[in-house]
């Protein structure tokens, strides 16, 4: 783990994960780093370390530099995400990211709302609506 601007950041092989000042879980895939099954499992281990398995959180995924997730990674995230997240916002403008989010919403029928945004401001505004 490393610390940036007072925040503890967990780095997996392909992602950086942290809780921001508002308690929103941030996931930033490292440019060119795909999320396969092993990476998905590593991310969820990081979420546990941050306590997200005990208290569900809002999630912001910054895929603005692109990201890919394997079929196995999607399956794992769809099974386990409901136990960690209240809602998930994804930032991305590439066709690949749009297709992944649309596929995830259409195919997996998640109880956790997932929505795609082109910028962080709109994503955070939407996420904050889910605060209890």
How far is residue 3's CA from residue 69's CA, in Å, rounded to a whole number? 26
Of 31-35, 44-48, 76-80, where does mean pLDDT reach its minimum?
A: 31-35
| Long-range CB pairs of 94-98, under 8 A, 24+ apart, other chains included | 94/63, 94/66, 96/66, 96/67, 96/68, 97/63, 97/66, 97/67
Please return the burial class of 124, using the count of CB atoms within 10 Å of its CB with bins 0-12, 13-18 and 19+: middle
Alpha carbon 38 to its chain centroid, in Å, reads 15
Report pLDDT digits (tens) over 52-110. 999 999 999 999 888 888 889 989 998 999 999 999 999 998 877 777 777 777 776 77
Computed over every residue of the chain, the mean pLDDT equals: 88
| pTM of this structure | 0.88
- For residue 3, pLDDT over 70 is answered with no
Domains assigned to the chain: 2-128 (3.30.750.24)
What average pLDDT does this structure show over 29-44?
A: 90
Looking at per-residue confidence, does 110 or 124 come out higher? 124
pLDDT class for 5, splitting at 50, 70, 90? low
Whether 112 and 85 have beta carbons less than 8 Å apart is answered as yes
Angle between helices 95-108 and 71-80 (to 10 degrees): 50
For residues 107 and 53, give the distance between their C-alpha atoms in angstroms, rounded to a whole number.
24
Rounded CA Rg of the chain: 13
């Amino acid at each position: 783990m490393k610390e940036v601007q007072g925040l503890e950041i967990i780095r997996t092989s392909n992602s950086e994960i942290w809780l921001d000042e508002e308690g929103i879980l941030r996931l930033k895939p490292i440019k060119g780093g795909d999320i396969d099954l092993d990476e998905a499992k590593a991310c969820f281990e990081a979420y546990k370390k941050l306590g997200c398995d005990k208290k569900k959180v809002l999630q912001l995924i910054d895929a603005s530099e692109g990201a890919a997730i394997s079929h196995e990674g999607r399956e794992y995230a769809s099974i386990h995400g409901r136990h960690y997240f209240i809602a998930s916002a994804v930032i991305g403008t590439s066709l690949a990211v749009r297709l992944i989010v649309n596929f995830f919403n259409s195919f997996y029928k998640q109880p956790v709302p997932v929505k795609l945004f082109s910028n962080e401001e709109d994503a955070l505004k939407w996420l904050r609506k889910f605060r209890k």
